[in-house]
Structure 1
Amino acid sequence: MDSSIKAFVFDVYGTLFDVTAIKKECEELYPGYGEEISQSWRSKQVEYFMLRQLMGNYATLHTITHQALKYVLKENDLQSNEENEQKLMEAYLHLPLYEEVEGVLAQLKDKNLTVFSNGSHDMLNPLIENAGLTGAFKHILSVDEVKEFKPAPASYQYALDKLGLANNQVLFMSSNGWDISGAKNFGFQTAWINRKNLPVEELDLEPDYIFDDLKGLLKWK
């Protein structure tokens, strides 16, 4: 256990909350396409915020998520209408937690726990509130406050400034390889929550720790 860690910072989508679970709502509205829509929607969402970061053309993740959905429905020649789109956007505010999350957070409640997400507060706050986790975190931080998406260094700098710590005093957790690479590049200590048993990204930025799920964090309990 590294005793230098003063803050435990969690990514949200795919790390605390299961984004793939939205395939259920997608399947209900578009039978036979639930899996395809849910996977393509997430991929296009990530692609769009990466592109907007590169172009210097910021929009909130709420806007990007809606635009990504509209694209995927068109890509699959599916009828897009405002009612269906709003139902699926609403489902994003009620994503389920991974099964171990509540127990792990409860056991780490005496630690400095923070959320740091590319999600804008209009998505992030209702999601965390609906899961009953509002009181679990000291900070709920969004890149929307600085308008720089992770993995840009300026986004992690914003979080660091809010924490008031040195880079290596932060343990950053994410299930997303690109986010772990960005955080490691910035100088955070990193714990990759490798839920899909994927290989490490070939970016010369090895995670400090690799766990199958958040229960690996209990070594700091």
Structure 2
Amino acid sequence: MPDQKPASVIVFDVNETLLDITTLEPLFTRLFGDASVLREWFAELILYSQTMTLSGRYAPFGALAGGVLRMVGANKGVAVTDEDVAELKSLIGSMPAHPDVAPALRRLQEAGFRLVTLTNSPPSPAPTPLEKAGIADFFERSFSIDEVAKFKPHPATYQMVAEALDLETDDLCMVACHLWDTIGAQAAGCQGAFLTRPNNNLIEVQEVPQPHYLSDDLADLAEQIIAGNGR
């Protein structure tokens, strides 16, 4: 059990945590002949989003996604067209939920937690990616870092959620399959719940904050959160 007061709100990362980014693989196979380039592109996207925040600058996540795709293409000698970028953005907006998502969200709701999302992606018109994935009704609010023009894991992103809900950050538990997200959330005062989806693992270094909850299955992670917060 975390050495802090129980959380009342569970905050979910969206891309890869709730929604399955492997559905983007066919685009990368077509462009580069290698589906694994998806992981290279995504890592570069996170790197440059965080670089923008550290540099005091901001560009929407979707614009960066397209720009990074062109950069990866240039690195590999592949011409990425406007149509390719448009396809990427369309696919990102239509990713399905992982199979373990809906049961876990329902269990947390039944346990009395409030559920919200916090994403690096900008707000999108209806139907939103969560609506398309069939899970929007689980969440009372969906937050975008676009409101503070800083990408996670900047502390302002987690503070924004707490302030909007008239709470403190230690009322929140951040669920993400990216360790940089739980590290940032914990540094801001939240609980951290780390979901080890494929290609996402712990960094076991003494100075690196370890998550309060850890699992490779969201349903199991939900049960840990429920038990750890005395529900």
TM-score strictly above 0.5: yes
Q: 1:83 maps to what in 2?
A: 83
2:45 touches 2:68 (CA, 8 Å); kept in 1? yes
Q: 1:35 maps to what in 2?
A: 36
Relative to structure 1, the CA distance from residue 212 to residue 90 in structure 2 (aligned partners, 3 Å threshold; closer, same or farther) is same
Aligned equivalents of 2:100, 2:121: Cα separation in 1: 22
User: Offset at 1:179?
Assistant: 0.6
1:16 touches 1:97 (CA, 8 Å); kept in 2? yes
Deviates more, 1:182-191 or 1:125-134: 125-134
Unaligned runs of at least 5 residues, structure 2: none
User: Offset at 1:128?
Assistant: 1.0
Structure 2: which amino acid aligns with 1:138?
Answer: E
1:26 touches 1:88 (CA, 8 Å); kept in 2? no
> Which runs of structure 2 are paired with 1:195-206 in the superposition (5 Å)?
195-196=197-198, 198-200=201-203, 202=205, 203-206=207-210
2:69 touches 2:85 (CA, 8 Å); kept in 1? yes
Aligned equivalents of 1:201, 1:48: Cα separation in 2: 24
What SS does the corresponding residue of 2:192 show, helix, strand or coil?
A: strand
Aligned equivalents of 2:88, 2:62: Cα separation in 1: 12
> Which runs of structure 2 are paired with 1:118-137 in the superposition (5 Å)?
118-122=120-124, 126-137=128-139
Matched, 1:217 2:205: no
Matched, 1:165 2:167: yes
Structure 1: which amino acid aligns with 2:104?
Answer: V
Matched, 1:65 2:70: no
Give deviations 1:34-80, integer Å, cap 9, x for gaps. 322x1121011101101100111101111111111111111111122
What SS does the corresponding residue of 1:99 show, helix, strand or coil?
A: coil
Structure 2: which amino acid aligns with 1:144?
Answer: D
What SS does the corresponding residue of 2:6 show, helix, strand or coil?
A: coil
Aligned equivalents of 1:66, 1:205: Cα separation in 2: 32
Q: 1:151 maps to what in 2?
A: 153
Structure 1: which amino acid aligns with 2:99?
Answer: E
1:177 touches 1:201 (CA, 8 Å); kept in 2? no
2:49 touches 2:61 (CA, 8 Å); kept in 1? yes
Question: TM (normalized to structure 1)?
Answer: 0.90
Deviates more, 1:169-178 or 1:210-219: 210-219
Deviates more, 1:53-62 or 1:117-126: 117-126
Structure 2: which amino acid aligns with 1:77?
Answer: G
Give deviations 1:185-212, integer Å, cap 9, x for gaps. 1110111112236233534312111111
> Which runs of structure 2 are paired with 1:97-136 in the superposition (5 Å)?
97-110=97-110, 111-122=113-124, 126-136=128-138
Q: Percent identity?
A: 26
Q: 2:140 maps to what in 1?
A: 138
User: Offset at 1:26?
Assistant: 2.3
Unaligned runs of at least 5 residues, structure 1: none
Relative to structure 1, the CA distance from residue 85 to residue 123 in structure 2 (aligned partners, 3 Å threshold; closer, same or farther) is farther
User: Offset at 1:122?
Assistant: 2.7
CA RMSD of superposed structures (Å):
2.1
Aligned length: 219
Give deviations 1:101-134, integer Å, cap 9, x for gaps. 0111122234300001111113897211211222
Question: TM (normalized to structure 2)?
Answer: 0.87
